[in-house]
Structure 1
Amino acid sequence: MTLTAIDLFCGAGGLSAGLEMAGFKVLAGVDLFEAAGKTFVETHKHAAFIGEPIEDVTIEKLMEKTGLKKGELTVLAGGPPCQAYSVYNHQRGMHDKRATLFREYLRIVEGLQPEWIVMENVMGIYSIGGGEAVRAIKYELKQLGYDVEEKVLKAEEYGVPQERRRVVFIGNRINAPIRHPAPTHGPGLLPFTTIREAIGDLPALENGEDGGTVKYAHPAKGDFQEFVRGDQNTVENHGAPRLGKVNIERLQHIPPGGSWRDIPHELLPAGMQRAKRSDHTKRYGRMTWDGLSCTVLTKCDIHWGAYIHPQQDRAVSVREAARLQAFPDWFVFAGSKTDQYIQVGNAVPPLLGRAIGQTIREIIEDGVSIRIAAE
């Protein structure tokens, strides 16, 4: 039995990588972001990549590229661009064109008739239009014959060393049970993956240093490092952004777990000198070795979150951000450094994708076993 998937809005391919870890064969990815497309092509050499606006992607083209006929695809996955739903976008609303891109996903669902669908998005989708987007997604999929349930999944509960909340819709048209993955990490389960376990083997960097291809600083220690390193002997994308002199001076005052509150008042940016102590809780935050990362965004900008290395006076590298997203080290990100951070921050953590894929696969295999037993 071959389990197949197509990934819409695939970006660099984090969800695709997770589904493949769960035993699915990803046949195609669709995205308009050129740098992400280059990354996807290099990390999913067996899959077709379609670098076009989703509105221009026809059902005929998808079937031609994958060799599938209508009804043969196992899973259609994807996460429409989230900016319109995001709590960081205060002008979000259903009038925003990006908020209706999920309708393109629905068009392709109708055309391909996959057995299963997986949609991922940010928590802000619950508040847009008073929940209009969520209701519309579930109603329209129901009209197409799909039972759908959504749930907020916490990435850290699946081994990702990061606090990350995402809404995941799972549905099918084959009357199979719908189940979201059960947590594997947390109280009473495996311990959460710490930042030390995630990035502690990577070489030290000075502010602005980028050595290109580098060797690991230490032997792999622990299951997570064994997983992300695989057979790799060297690592890419490990270069520190260059921070200005005043920022370096600010960082020297911030201890592990500290933030902008630890910076002397006269060194704070003018706007933050007027801030209340209760404001901007994660700004200029320094990570702690034994904690979890805050949510990795498309900019690991120290002005906006806790993206300062636990020990070194610099911002985290693209590779460190990728590790915090649970990307294997063989995933090399293409494009400018800005493009690379965007690819990492927009991705579904592969370990979360794996958990989703494994759960769907278990349901499918249970159904096959029941049918065989009945025969």
Structure 2
Amino acid sequence: MENYYDKMEKTLVNKNISYMNLDKESSFKIGESNELIGTFCSKLENVKKDEKIYTTIELFAGAGGLALGVEKAGFDTIGLIEIDKDASDSLKENRPNWNVINEDIANISCLNLEDYFNIGKGQLDLLSGGAPCQAFSYAGKRLGLEDARGTLFYHYATFLQKLQPKMFLFENVRGLLTHDKGRTYETITDIFKQAGYTIQKKILNAWNFGVPQKRERLIIIGIRTDLVDKVVFNFPKEHKYKPVLRDILLDCPKGPGVLYGENKRKIFDLVPPGGYWKDIDPEIAKEYMKSCWNMQGGRTGILRRMSLDEPSLTVLTSPSQKQTERCHPLETRPFTVRENARCQTFPDDWKFCGSVQSQYKQVGNAVPVNLAYEIALEIYKSLRGVE
């Protein structure tokens, strides 16, 4: 499988796929322009004159990491639902043509979805998204969809049952597998199967797919049972090159962010790149850590300064919580919103709306764009078997 990389070997476009025979300038790389990605997607549509354009609806869309990757793979987004106003505004700002629905999903899932989205049952190609992890009151009772009532997943499952898309992509944290002693995952998979889907699951680390960040996600792919003889899905292959912070930080545009207080900044000045609290005077560390000093475990997230020669740790929704600190490798400050966005492989001109704290939250909650693209591209190839 031949891949094309930019000069930094950051990100790739597979050239063996017929609709991807584009000029090299269309290759997507970390931090590349949102406008170029839009052009890239337009070129995909132009090239695919004789190929079907696949449709997708996304639930819990956030600020668009998953949606952008799915679009880049060649899908036409006909609806995105997101309750958070700032995240919805971000989607609208960057993609005015998208049908962004800023609404509580509970107010949508109860409707006639075929009429609402103007699409017949079984016609939608892909339902995507990931509901927050919640315990089920009736887990284990095998009541079908009723097992999930009262949770956000209930609405994802309702969309699935009502629209019967050909495939679905459900992403979540790795901890879903063990949440509530495994009962949550068991209930979810039972509901997927009862809705008429065969599922495949895998834990994917974004670092293996062109993302300069260690971020593990549980990916569940569903194929409608009447299509299992036609649709073959394979999870994406890992990249040979794994990007690190040196690839994205040195030329990163300036952006909004927060600063450390004077005392914290003085202590962080003592921490070397790649180091943490154990690399400074233990008395200073003990005074800073206070009650955390006696906690079990390595506490490696406290007073952690990143290294240019390593990937970022998982990008979080807050830049300066004591137990999950991520200090810039070269400067004594947290990462900016834009630096975190680069770690998530958003293009540099993808705008985030709302307060600085809201922007950090939107970026931290997102699916890395490059990871989303790799998965969606495999789904696209799978759907071609239905034609």
Q: TM-score surpassing 0.5?
A: yes
**1:11-22 → structure 2 map (5 Å cutoff):** 11-22=62-73
Q: Secondary structure at the match of 2:324?
A: coil
Q: In the aligned structure 1, how far is the partner of 2:110 from the partner of 2:73? A: 26
Gaps of at least 5 residues in structure 1 are: 85-92, 204-213, 215-237, 369-375
Task: Specify which of 266, 270, 292 is matched with residue 284 of structure 2.
Answer: 266
Q: Offset at 1:95?
A: 4.3
Q: In the aligned structure 1, how far is the partner of 2:178 from the partner of 2:232? A: 24
Tell me what 2:136 maps to: 94
Alpha carbons 2:232, 2:385 under 8 Å: kept: no
Return the TM-score normalized by structure 2: 0.78
2:165 is aligned with 1:114: yes
Q: In the aligned structure 2, how far is the partner of 1:56 from the partner of 1:243? A: 41
2:293 is aligned with 1:251: no
Q: In the aligned structure 2, how far is the partner of 1:295 from the partner of 1:198? A: 15
Alpha carbons 2:231, 2:383 under 8 Å: kept: no
Q: In the aligned structure 2, how far is the partner of 1:296 from the partner of 1:99? A: 29
Note closer, same or farther for the CA distance 1:101–1:198 as it changes in structure 2 (3 Å cut).
same
Tell me what 1:229 maps to: none
Q: Offset at 1:13?
A: 1.1
Q: In the aligned structure 2, how far is the partner of 1:17 from the partner of 1:23? A: 10
Kindly tell me the number of residue pairs found equivalent between the two proteins: 322
Alignment RMSD: 2.2
The 10-residue stretch of structure 1 (278-287 or 98-107) with the greater mean CA deviation from structure 2: 98-107
Q: Secondary structure at the match of 2:362?
A: helix
Tell me what 1:183 maps to: 237
Q: In the aligned structure 2, how far is the partner of 1:79 from the partner of 1:306? A: 26
Q: Offset at 1:157?
A: 0.9
The 10-residue stretch of structure 1 (108-117 or 168-177) with the greater mean CA deviation from structure 2: 168-177
Note closer, same or farther for the CA distance 1:269–1:178 as it changes in structure 2 (3 Å cut).
farther
Per-residue CA deviations over 1:89-140 (Å, capped at 9, x if unaligned) read xxxx434999832121011111111111110000111112221122222211
Alpha carbons 1:285, 1:302 under 8 Å: kept: no
**1:63-74 → structure 2 map (5 Å cutoff):** 63-64=114-115, 66-74=117-125
Tell me what 2:154 maps to: 103
Tell me what 2:248 maps to: 198
Task: Specify which of 212, 216, 226 is matched with residue 161 of structure 1.
Answer: 212
2:316 is aligned with 1:297: yes
Q: In the aligned structure 1, how far is the partner of 2:374 from the partner of 2:340? A: 20
Q: Offset at 1:156?
A: 0.7
Task: Specify which of 59, 73, 76 is matched with residue 25 of structure 1.
Answer: 76
Q: In the aligned structure 2, how far is the partner of 1:312 from the partner of 1:182? A: 36
Q: Offset at 1:341?
A: 0.8
2:361 is aligned with 1:342: yes
Return the TM-score normalized by structure 1: 0.80
The 10-residue stretch of structure 1 (54-63 or 122-131) with the greater mean CA deviation from structure 2: 54-63
2:351 is aligned with 1:332: yes
